[in-house]
Structure 1
């Protein structure tokens, strides 16, 4: 099905690492509804801007630590699965 439909990850996305995990598991994007609403309620537009900056920084850290330069290069090979 990958490539035929877009896969949206929703629920439990709290930070940039969660976004990277969702993409590695096959999602095309990750929904950040709760974090967005909290940021908006706390500080309005500035809060949402700050949230998006934090998510980007957290994603960059996760990608750097896994030697991934581009979001398109995030794959399931990055994940460690417990037996």
Structure 2
């Protein structure tokens, strides 16, 4: 089950639960940032109620995390279709 949970500066928890919906994942990369856009493919929902998550990370932190994961024997990175 795909979901995203973040905790904001105010300490409040925000959750996007995609349940069993099909999702699309887009990755945008430039020299400074990596952005992940995850969106539920809910055909029946109006556009203003679509479930989505946008994650923007500094490129250097993302690169370091991926390099660390690649060096581990058991990787926590999984691609599922």
The answer to whether TM tops 0.5 is no
Larger Rg: 2
More strand per residue: 1 or 2?
A: 2
- TM-score, structure 1 length as denominator? 0.24
Normalising by the residue count of structure 2, what TM-score does the alignment of the two structures yield?
0.24
